[in-house]
A and B are shown apart, each in its own frame.
Chain A
Amino acid sequence: MIQSLQLRLAIIGIVLLASVFLLYPSFGPVPTFWAKYLPDSPIRLGLDLRGGLHLILEVQANKAVEAVLDQTVSEASAMMKEEKIRYTDVQRSSPSSLTVLLKDADQAALFDQKILEKLHNFKKISAGPSENGFEIQLQLDPKAAESIRYKAVRQAVDTIRNRVDALGVAEPDVVIHGTDRIIVQLPGLTEDLNRAIDIIKQTARLEFKLVDEKGDLNAAIKGDVPPGSEILNKVDRNPATGIVTRTPYLVRKQLLMTGDVLTDARVQPDQMGRMIIAMDFNRTGARQFERITGDHVREKLAIILDNRVYSAPVIKDRISGGSAIIEGMFSPEEAHDLALVLRAGSLPAPVKILENRTVGPSLGADSIRLGRNAIALGLLLVVIGMAVYYRWSGVVADVALIMNLLLIFAIMVLPGLRATLTLPGLAGVALTMGMAIDANVLIFERVREELRMGKSAKVALENGYAKAFSVIIDSNLTTILSALPLIQFGTGPIKGFAVTLCIGLIVSMFTALFVTRAIFDYSFQMKRIKTLSI
């Protein structure tokens, strides 16, 4: 304990002053000079108090692995064509393996020699003659697959962050949770929640593939899909009537290009006043697009977003300049949102919503009011109770208790900590009052015992504080220990509760021990009090 009373009172004064400065912005707008030197943000309220959206998404990272395999299929076939290796088929045969079907064993030897080493991370697991040639099975290295999954989750977080930023929500929070989950918190977002969810979870995988014009579409619809092709639909919803029409397309599986090369996407009206989305490619993309269009003049190029065909124009000529458009029957909102997600980038894998908590703003306001009333009533009861039971000493404890409350909220706005106040957190604050008073009860009971033994007021007080000290530390530490396991429960209200409770307990040790002691010492030294009202 610091000996100098002046120093102790000064510390208390500074702490009080600092709390007032920290909390001032929570009660109203601050003057402009304030923000320059002091934090100008009010207490951060949790979603349950402020309203907003909380999502837990699961990244289906295996799909990212599959996408890499599909990409490898395209690359392998392109390389084999270049090396003039004769093959009948390359395809993904399981989530992590490829099957290459070659003409005969000689071609297989060529494949081993020229192609295999270029397919990084793939291992040959089997090879042998089959019905129509020679079959080679390639397996993706599990470590590489793991790394793809890991990167997919990281990239998904970045992409979602970009999209959320584009939504213009204040203080969004997007974090990885566990291995493949993402927590998205958008406090304060209370309108257009469904639209926000759509924007967040849309994969937005843009692909360019050729329409299979040799294959028989009607036969394919009946089930006889030519190898290397697939059926994808064009889905149109008439904005005026709401009628949905589906047009099937037979599309080559081979992936010519993806939307990764996009640098910009924006909404424009076309000559007929319909909404289209204009896209710009980067230099690689522009070259790629030029080569593709040059190689496939007079063929149809399908522009596919999330496995839906948007348009399939005939390539009239080689297109240089690095831009393309997406047509579709968009409403202005749809077009805007689509351009937004395209700009923010695609998700490397689809995401699934595991948890969705939406709180409207009115409920939050109700909860704040009730929580405030509960704290006020609890405080009133405890303050009166202490004053009645311990008289003047009780009042000293009450002063410490009120300071405790002030400090809890002040610490919650400390920059760097930025704790979130939630509804259970308010309960935690209320509960802390009962617990904070325990320290003073322990001290005062000891002081009374000492007084009964005939000690002077000053000695009794000193002994009371000394004897109660270790048990106060013990009891606060154990409560903190039991609240610690709660902090692992994500970023939700429960964590808010645990954090608030822990802050409250730590602060209570300062107020109940340090502050009350200083007040008592002040009365003894300055006011020359001889007896203790306890």
Chain B
Amino acid sequence: MELIPPNTNINFIGNRRYAYAFTTIMIILSLASIPIKGSVLLGIDFSGGVMIQVKFGKQADTEDVRQALKPLSENPVIQKFAMGGDEYLIRMETPEEGADKLAQHVQELLEKKFGKGQVEIRSLEMVGPKVGKDLRESAIWATVVALALLLIYMVFRFTLGMGLGAVFCLIHDLIIIYGFFVWTGKEFNLTILAAMLTVIGYDINDTIVVCDRIRDNLKTMKKQSLIEILNTSINQTLSRTILTSGFTLLVVVSLLIFGTNVLQDFAWALLIGILFGTYSSIFVASPLVLALDKYIPVKRG
């Protein structure tokens, strides 16, 4: 079976203006989310606060839950679980008196309303404001370090131009995932950070495969122009790029189907990241290598 027939020769580089336009629009759309929707909804990992997952033995109403928790929190965010049943996610500020007995307190308050034995606290997470701030800083630090490591690796194994092109692609992918999370109002937590770092580790592979081909072809296609070499390289690896992305997306979709809340958002980040990562490695990385060629020539021969 073959998805991409051999000798396919799509003029990716020749049509790079469309790619530039699309990329620019996507980045603007993603960044525009921030002034329009406000900043991304930070999970309690990063903002601090309390998140409780409760399962009720009988029918429960969001308003009842809110009423029951009134003594503890003025305005908790109560969200019914997507997957059937009477399961709720409750999010609130860390109460004044600290979180030592929080689980007990919540249980007592809810049992008063819904009856003994009707309330099961399935998980409770409390992150103090100090830890939240630390984790925010480490998150930014982790992303910067990952990008820097990848840039160094690319420069070491390939060329500076390819390294810059690849890292720009990754930043592009990250901006789009971020924009997706702001637009959809999904929560950005540690798991999503993990997804983002995985995405950049994954997306750079596509770019590496193309760059590896470019390096090979530079040796054999001495007469052709750089544009032709880039085009040939992308076309030669196109089948692999689509196939691998396709297989990985199959896995991501199965995570979307079976995942719980946490894993579903994780899978969404991967889905967006892999789709745009595949796009950017084809349409963004190589044109950038070409554009940078004037300043940082790709070595020939």
Contact = CB atoms under 8 A, between A and B. Distances in A.
Given A438-B205, A493-B191, A358 B125 contact: yes
Nearest to A372: B258
A482 B104 contact: no
A354 interface: yes
B131 A483 contact: no
Contact of A485 (B131, B145, B153, B259): B145
Interface in B116-151: 120-128, 130-131, 135, 138, 141-143, 145-146, 149-150
Contacts of A58: 130
B194 A370 contact: no
Contact of A494 (B53, B191, B237, B243): B191
Interface stretch (B11-19, B25-33, B221-229, B247-255): B247-255
Could you tell me the dominant secondary structure of chain A's interface residues? Answer: helix
A388 B1 contact: yes
Interface in B76-130: 98-104, 120-128, 130
A489 B263 CA distance: 18
Given A474-B157, A488-B138, A441 B247 contact: yes
A317 interface: no
Contacts of A478: 150, 153-154, 201, 204-205, 208
B155 interface: no
Interface string B204-217: 11001100100010
A123 B127 CA distance: 41
B149 to A, nearest CB: 5
Given A378-B254, A485-B145, A424 B266 contact: yes
B128 A486 contact: no
A377 interface: yes
B35 interface: no
B291 interface: no
Interface in A475-526: 475, 477-486, 488-489, 492-494, 497-498, 501
Given A359-B123, A424-B191, A481 B149 contact: yes
Contacts of B246: 385
Contact of A353 (B126, B262, B263): B126
Interface in A390-443: 390-391, 423-424, 427-428, 430-431, 433-435, 437-438, 441-442
A430 B243 contact: no
**Which interface residue of B101, B209, B239, B257 has the most chain A CB atoms within 10 A?**
B209
A470 interface: yes
Contact of A374 (B145, B212, B257): B257
Given A356-B102, A431-B270, A474-B208, A389 B1 contact: yes
B255 A442 contact: no
A291 interface: no
Contacts of B3: 389
B204 A427 contact: no
A391 B141 CA distance: 45
Contact of A479 (B126, B201, B250, B254): B201
Contact of B141 (A367, A389, A485): A485
A197 B142 CA distance: 31
A488 B142 contact: yes
B146 A484 contact: yes
B25 to A, nearest CB: 27
Nearest to A394: B1
A456 interface: no
A471 interface: yes
B289 to A, nearest CB: 16
B67 interface: no
Contacts of A489: 135, 138, 142, 190
A366 interface: yes
A497 B199 CA distance: 13
Interface of B: 1, 3, 6, 53, 55, 98-104, 120-128, 130-131, 135, 138, 141-143, 145-146, 149-150, 153-154, 157, 190-191, 193-194, 197-198, 200-202, 204-205, 208-209, 212, 216, 236-237, 239-240, 243-244, 246-255, 257-260, 262-263, 266-267, 270
Given A449-B6, A489-B135, 20 more contacts: A353-B99, A353-B128, A357-B123, A358-B124, A359-B123, A362-B120, A363-B122, A373-B254, A382-B250, A388-B1, A424-B194, A430-B255, A431-B198, A434-B252, A438-B205, A442-B244, A475-B209, A479-B202, A483-B198, A485-B149
25 contacts: A352-B98, A353-B99, A357-B123, A363-B122, A370-B263, A371-B263, A373-B254, A373-B258, A375-B254, A382-B251, A385-B250, A390-B1, A424-B262, A428-B198, A434-B247, A434-B252, A435-B205, A441-B240, A471-B209, A484-B145, A484-B146, A485-B145, A493-B190, A494-B193, A497-B191
